[in-house]
Structure 1
Amino acid sequence: MVAMTIKPSSSRNKIKINIVTPAPVGSLHGNRITAQRWDRFLKKLGYSSRITESWAQGDTDLLIALHAYRSHDSILRFKQKYPHKPVILMMTGTDLYRDIKQHPEVLISMQLADKIVLLQSAAMEIIPKALQKKVHVIYQSVKAISRKPLLKRCFLVSVIGHLRPEKDPFCTARCLAELPSESVIRVQHLGKAMSPDMRQMAIRYQAKLPRYEWLDEVSHAQALQRLARSHLMVITSLMEGGAHVVSEAIAIGVPVVASDIPGNRGLLGESYSAYFPVGDEKALAALLHRAETEPRFYRSLEKQIHARQSLIKPAFEMRSIQSLVNSVLLSTGITHQKV
């Protein structure tokens, strides 16, 4: 039996794909980074792909929408104009762990979509059983950079993410008061304040805590370089669909201490050894101090992180995207050719 894949023609009749993300051009939001990565993969696969903040009404063979709630209007308008053309919906953390309970548009978007993408396996438990047959889990990949030599004068902890409530961004800052005085932990916090109140809180914590430095927003490349020099990364989110920064830490080999939420468990694994209860700064401080002072525990975290690296290889993600696009185009009869 001859294997079949769909591959657009090299002519002007390429299959046209529109990726919709509400994150604007120039944004360092995870949704924008994901959209840009998928756009690169799709172009490598030979498709005609573009990114917009909403569906631009042009001729489109396939719509890929990030965010069931915020992209609902684009999905609805596309399906009204092209009822037989496919939609791939990528669910975000706020879709799964907040908006699905508050906004009926999320479920409608899921019903309209031909396929639903989750960025980590634990999110499947949120999807209604009747829709689970549409689901594909595709882990976010990272083109790894080398880990840098670690500082000897301190134990450097990175917190990377924009400052907004669902990230519980100051949990790590709060935990510093729980560390013993002899600890040499230092925290670098990278991320844009998403409100004046968040900015003021970051400034106050930095002034108050000698161990804490807020660096505001930096470029993605700078963030990766700082992460690569870190002994540890902390993610304290209340909700996540599958944080790209966790995948980046895995790719580099940096151990992670994570809030105990499905979005983190789906990336790090159910048996990972460094989860803490959401918002519990005392438990977080205890894990940080243990990683700082117990070499065996720290090495075990490194080993567990390395074991997850095969899931976030770019080639693996690109093959997964190709398989998904092939299947949705085949199922909806979009013109294709055998290769």
Structure 2
Amino acid sequence: MKISLITPARQHARTGNRTTAMRWAHILRGMGARVTVSTAYAGENADLMIALHAWRSADSIGAFRARYPDRKLVVALTGTDIYRFQQSDPETTLGSMAMADALVGLHDLVADAIPARFRSKVRIIYQSVPPLSRRLPPLRGVFEVLVIGHLRAEKDPMRTALAARALPESSRIRIVHLGMAHDADWAEAARAEMTVNRRYVWRGEVPGWAVRRALARAKLMVLSSVMEGGANVVSEALVAGVPVIASRIAGSVGLLGGDYPGYFPVGDTAALTGLLRRAESDPGFLDDLRARCGARVPLFDPARERASWQTLLAQLTGKA
């Protein structure tokens, strides 16, 4: 089977979309498919298209459907598709959903957020993470909290740094932020924060091995996003044994569960400060977060993700 896999993320980008595309390509090739990964469809012959991003890949989706009206088309819905573009540009975004034979979502609440007429097309495929070889000892004298993600508006990237400003002098919390700045303004904001906030360190973009090493020793991770389609960094943290504090958005609730106690309202700095203080000072609370996160780890098993793709392709090709 020839598969055209479309992602709007450029070849060497360290974005979630590019990471997801390359992992899926590896899985599909392991199933015997011939997979071409590109940023746009150029009319090549393919038995199946998998397109990440209903809005950004809309031209490719439309071109493939026009060229091959009877061949199968899978559209993976991102956070901005679900929580921005289907409202701001419904004609394009919902048009891509309409052309798709299947819609891949990355968390449990995706179907609830799209029009009812498309919900039967949704298949949830959790993003998998290989297990860590080992945990590393935490830094002595420091309660290290990671923020992993690019500095852009959707991530509300400075929220954890702002929350750390209000911690008591006795707190040992240090915020370590890994991620590229979307533009010069965000870079300047991070550098300025480091000059006034001794608890905040921005390391910029780092390779994947450095992210995994940081997770191997961290006490906690914060995901403060305004919107997410199902952040792979949540999977990475949980598999690494790192509990998560997250803004209460569907993309995180759909991964961590509705009754998870580590949520704060989007943009609520004081509430996040309170959770950070509790995680550091209350071992029972941190243990509870860790146990609940550990219970979700089987969702992110690479074998499960591979089986999900095998099932979906079998259904699409009539071989289920």
- TM-score normalised per structure 2: 0.98
| Worse-superposed segment, 124-133 or 37-46 | 124-133
Cα deviations by residue, 1:263-309 (Å, 9 ceiling, x for unpaired): 00000111111000000111001001101010111111110011001
Residue correspondence of structure 1 range 1-339 to structure 2 within 5 A: 15-103=1-89, 104-145=91-132, 146-330=134-318
In structure 2, what residue type is equivalent to 1:291? A
**RMSD of aligned Cα (Å):** 1.0
1 CA distance for matches of 2:143 and 2:93? 42
2 CA distance for matches of 1:16 and 1:124? 28
1 CA distance for matches of 2:30 and 2:262? 37
1 CA distance for matches of 2:135 and 2:78? 29
Cα deviations by residue, 1:34-87 (Å, 9 ceiling, x for unpaired): 001100000111111121001131111100000000000000000001000111
Larger radius of gyration: 1
Per the TM alignment, residue 143 of structure 1 is displaced from its structure 2 partner at its CA by 0.6
Per the TM alignment, residue 207 of structure 1 is displaced from its structure 2 partner at its CA by 1.2
Gaps of 5+ in 1: 1-14, 331-335
Gaps of 5+ in 2: none
| Worse-superposed segment, 143-152 or 234-243 | 143-152
2 CA distance for matches of 1:133 and 1:157? 39
SS in 2 for 1:321: helix
1 CA distance for matches of 2:85 and 2:135? 37
SS in 2 for 1:26: coil
In structure 2, what residue type is equivalent to 1:39? A
* Higher RCO (C-alpha 8 Å, min separation 6): 1
Moved over 4 A (4+): none
CA contact (8 A) 2:165 2:199 kept: no
SS in 1 for 2:259: coil
2 CA distance for matches of 1:50 and 1:137? 23
In structure 2, what residue type is equivalent to 1:134? K
Per the TM alignment, residue 117 of structure 1 is displaced from its structure 2 partner at its CA by 0.5
Cα deviations by residue, 1:127-165 (Å, 9 ceiling, x for unpaired): 211111111011110012132211231100000000000
Per the TM alignment, residue 228 of structure 1 is displaced from its structure 2 partner at its CA by 1.5
